[in-house]
Amino acid sequence: MDSLSETVHWGMMLGFDIQVEDRDGRALVGSQQVMDDLPPSMKRRMQAILHMHAADVEYERYPLYVEGKELGTLLVRPLHRAGPVQVKEDIFKKRGTNFLVISFIIAGAGALGMSVFLSLYLSRPLKILKSAAERVAGGDFSVRVGPPLLRGSQRPRILNDEILRLAESFNYMAEALEKEEALRKRLTSNVAHELRTPLAVMKAHVEAMIDGVIEVREESLENIRAEIEKLTHLVEGIEDLTKAEASFFAGGEYKRINLRDFLASLQGSMRPVFQEKGLQLSLTDGEDLFVVTDVEKLEKILGNIIANALKYTEKGGVRVDYRSDGGEFTIEVKDSGIGIPEEEVPKVFTRFYRGKESPGTGVGIGLAIVKELVAIMGGQISLKSTMGEGSTFTVRLPVKETGRGEGIGEA
């Protein structure tokens, strides 16, 4: 009963008039009884706060159970608070309501402002990419977007990574378009330049024969045939250049090969043309050297260099050496040809350039293709030449890592 009386007392402090009955409806304890049992001083304070007889509503009944067995009933109704307590309670409720309303307004306005800010902040890099894409669509292929414009210090890292990957893809696309456009313009200009001379010569010969300035003789027709032959070689060279440029943008397939066997195969395929000219194509008798590289591009590079050496060599032959050097491998093609004048060495890799000692055939794009393919593969090419002694082309290429145990090394 002491515990029950204390519980009823706390219910009164919370503003409730409480009665507890047993299963037969007999009153066990109630608010008034607890009030009467309080010490006089506490009783006066409670009476100053609560009006025990001022409740004007019926009790609400709540059955009491223990382990499914009904023990009694709890009767509860609110008490009226006296004087200033009720006033204070009303003021508290009103202020509480105002506080909640103002808090919701501030929170809503803050959330709206934050959402607008984040929307603008997060969409900024996308707007930059959109503007760059519009410039590319307008023909400006030089535009690039970089991390300083796209990375935000407060932006989530995953968002930074996604936007940066998108920017890298965009830059790769713009760079490819720029290269392709530059190649197109350069090819158009070079073709126009190379076609102009033979066409002008042919036109002059034909007009001269029509006007009777020169007779239609075998010599005149032979001159026209020679110019037509030049045009044919030029067209064939342009076809080769087109195929090569197509490979510039292709990723290429990297394979692990034995460089010694690869060079031996290339030597065997080109030996007949050397024998026809009375020359030798020799290969260093080295050890196995396993590398990972773009086989198709490497074959085109060495094929063009060896073919160029054959063209300018009249005695002796061409020798191919190879070696490894850390993360790269080196191939040297040395000929015993006529050599290249010192002032012409920087120009030999220029498209459509032909030296003073160049044979009549060829359009001067073989070594240009070689240099561009080497650059695409991330390597370097150099040339040393001495007049009357020959030339040495040195190609250095990195080894691409495609997996554990693949690269330069033993089988």
Please write the tens of the pLDDT for every residue from 123-164: 777 788 888 888 888 888 888 887 655 554 444 444 466 777
pLDDT score, position 329: 92
pLDDT score, position 402: 43
Q: What tens digit of pLDDT does each residue of 158-207 get?
A: 446 677 788 888 888 888 788 777 767 776 776 777 677 778 878 887 88
pLDDT score, position 363: 56
Provide the 3-class DSSP secondary structure of residue 310.
Answer: helix
What is the layout of strands, in order, in the sheet containing 380-386?
280-283, 317-325, 328-335, 390-398, 380-386
Q: What are phi and psi of 291, to 5 degrees?
A: -135, 160
CA 353 centroid distance within chain: 38
253-268 burial, b for 16+ CB within 10 Å, e for fewer? ebbbbebbebbeebbe
State how far the Cα of 253 lies from the Cα of 249, in Å rounded to an integer.
12
pLDDT score, position 74: 94
Low-confidence ranges of the chain (pLDDT < 50): 152-159, 402-407, 409-411
CA 98-101-106 angle, to 5 degrees, is 120
Per-residue DSSP letter, 346: G
**Partners of 242 in the β-ladder:** none
Residue that has been written with the tokens 């210090």 in this structure: 153
Q: Which CATH superfamily is domain 2-81 in?
A: PAS domain (3.30.450.20)
Q: Which CATH superfamily is domain 252-411 in?
A: Histidine kinase-like ATPase, C-terminal domain (3.30.565.10)
Of 211, 333, 222, the residue nearest 270 (C-alpha):
333
Provide the 3-class DSSP secondary structure of residue 191.
Answer: helix
pLDDT score, position 300: 87
CA count, 13 A, side-chain hemisphere, 363: 25
pLDDT score, position 86: 60
pLDDT score, position 353: 64
Query: What secondary structure does DSSP assign to 233-296, as a single string?
Result: HHHHHHHHHHHHHHHHSS---EEEEEHHHHHHHHHHHHHHHHHHTT-EEEE------EEEEEHH
Element counts in the chain: helices (H) and strands (E): 10, 13
